[in-house]
Structure 1
Amino acid sequence: MINIWIFLLTMSSFAKSVALLEKELFIKDVSFSNLLCPLATIDLGLHSRATKCASACSQKPACRSFFYNKHDQLCKGAPGILTSTAGCALQSGTLYFHTTDITTTTSTTTTTTTVPSSQYGRPCTGAADCTITYGKCLRSTCECQAGYSYKSSTDSCVSNCGNYGSTYSEYLNVDLAVTHSGEYHFTSLARCHKYCSDTSSCRGVNYSPLFNGGMCRLKSRLDPTLFVSFNGINFYTRNCA
């Protein structure tokens, strides 16, 4: 009889955990990609996927967002949702996710606002979790396919933005085999992104820290059919404004 009660309690705890995870959905904020901010004070351990990091955050009532580094698999939670990059440090490979339920509290009332549902930027395990046009589940996150930019105003992946912004989507170990419109050496990834953002015709960059002290090549056009595998070089697509 004792064993049955232990089993029932275990199943009840599991069901609550699953319900909590289903309720506490997360979405990626590309504004904080490749950064780590001081607010991330909750140690959530090491996890092989962003979905597991999301689950760990969901189990802690104080965790409202988290940083996940896809290179070293480190997961750090935060008690709030970031709105500014002030004080944040550059950390390559880090992704930032926050809950879609944003709650603000005053002395007399509590108001909850639910962000409109979007698959982009959310943790995924396969194609069924990422069905937006030209979307793809990449490294456990719903992203645009290489060669397409994300347009938040229409929640879609597009071949031409019209107006381009200053955020980028990362594609590891691929080279866009089109003529580059500019090249810089001995530069950082952040500086490479700035070169592109400051150039109106730039649609993305190939960057490698392994060549010439940090090689940056600007690309003025995207072509999804011309991406080739190339170890040590990553491509960064410029997203829409």
Structure 2
Amino acid sequence: MAHPARVARAALPADAVAAWAAQADDAYADPAVRRAHHFVPTASSMALAAIDRAAVIAAVWAALGPSIQAALGGPVAVNLANAWLRRQFPLGQGPRWHAPHGWHQDGALGHDFLDPPADDPGLVPMITTWAPLGPCGVDAPGLELVPADEPALRPVAALTAPVVDRIHPPGARWRPALAPGDVLVFGGGVLHRTHATAAMTRPRTSVELRWLRADALPHRLAAQPHLPMPAGGAAGPI
């Protein structure tokens, strides 16, 4: 079943989002925290555990758990190895080495594009929840998406900007404006990238989680840490 991109407006408590934003500012300002949480300079990303990861997971699950479980069709686990705190900048204003993310599908997570094993499933069924900690999409970088959830994994050659522009012209793509508390929800086949322009004036910080079927983890991700979630969206112990 396809899971096209949608926005859950005001899904997260405002006070919680503000607290995470303050924690994120502290984390980015502290070199020791960045080192301890696998900071990636090319993406200005670090592990979500640099802030209150448990609270983020609990809040998203409390708000969206039933819809995530219905979308995946069974018990759900959140992938802890790919739970991220990210920061993006207007074009040309980021630190050295930083670059916006290009076109990709989250369902390609862990896929070996150069030499995939014969039993590799290709696109992994998953749901991504992506939440900005401040306003984004207009004056601060957001995401640009082809809203449809594609059924198959795109090869690397089909992820280049010229190919995507030819198949999905800019007018057919979606660049949602989001507020703190909003959550962008989309399936693993949704093609997306960073939406950033030189005219933007502020950086954007966001938190993201990837949710999978707990009883059907693909072999290529099975060794990564996953947290099984309680049924029905109740926020249990984390």
The two structures have a TM-score, normalised by structure 1, of 0.25
* Structure label with greater radius of gyration: 1
Larger helix percent: 2
The two structures have a TM-score, normalised by structure 2, of 0.25
Higher relative contact order (CA 8 A, sep 6+): 2
